[in-house]
């Protein structure tokens, strides 16, 4: 009698465990789907960006479609095309990027996968001894990094 009760109890535990694992798998799948949809919403333009989003940086953005902006579903200013904006900024801010790398040799090459590292370092670099053009590039790079991060679906 006692062995039978133990077997029944063990069977109930196994069934409950399988049911719990099934529910957890279902929940994990739902979380992944919702997360993917949320990340897509980060990079989807649903409105117009403020007209002053690049105020003071006309020399960088004038006539360059790579810097077209919009607003995502969270109301954050984003680039219409993050990749195009990245490529243009890498070229236009080359001196500021080089200054950062010279002061922080641990920084890897500036690429889309390392943008967030640069965003962390940009305020730690000493910009006091750079010329005006490099300092202006630094300011623009900071603005770029903010908009880039707002619209990165992998963030």
**CA-to-CA dists, residue 113 to 68, 103, 107, 109, 148, angstroms:** 21, 20, 12, 9, 12
For the stretch 48-51, contacts whose Cβ atoms lie closer than 8 Å and that sit 24 or more positions apart, written own/partner, are 49/77, 49/78, 50/77
Residue 114 binned pLDDT confidence (cut-offs 50, 70, 90): confident
pLDDT at 116: 87
Reported as a single tens digit per residue, the pLDDT across 73-108 is 889 999 999 999 999 999 999 999 999 999 999 998
Mean pLDDT of the chain: 82
Q: Which residue has the higher pLDDT, 113 or 144?
A: 144
Q: Which residue has the tokens 């006539």?
A: 63
Lowest-confidence pick of 4-18, 51-65, 134-148 = 4-18
Q: Which residue has the higher pLDDT, 114 or 6?
A: 114
Residue 43 binned pLDDT confidence (cut-offs 50, 70, 90): confident
Q: Which residue has the tokens 């920084």?
A: 107
Q: Is the pLDDT of residue 65 over 80?
A: yes
pLDDT at 155: 65
């Amino acid at each position: 009698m006692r062995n039978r009760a133990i077997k029944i109890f063990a069977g109930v535990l196994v069934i409950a465990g399988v049911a719990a694992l099934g529910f957890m798998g279902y929940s994990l799948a739902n979380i992944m789907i919702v997360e993917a949809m949320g990340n897509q919403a980060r990079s989807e333009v649903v409105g117009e960006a403020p007209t002053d989003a690049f105020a003071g940086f006309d020399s960088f953005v004038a006539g360059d479609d790579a810097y077209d902006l919009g607003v995502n579903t969270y109301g954050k200013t984003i680039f219409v095309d993050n990749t195009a904006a990245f490529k243009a900024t890498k070229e236009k801010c080359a001196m500021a990027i080089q200054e950062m790398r010279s002061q922080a040799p641990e920084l890897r090459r500036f690429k889309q996968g390392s943008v967030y590292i640069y965003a962390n370092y940009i305020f730690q670099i000493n910009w006091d001894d750079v010329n005006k053009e490099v300092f202006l590039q630094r300011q623009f790079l900071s603005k770029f990094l903010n908009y880039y991060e707002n619209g990165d679906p992998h963030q």
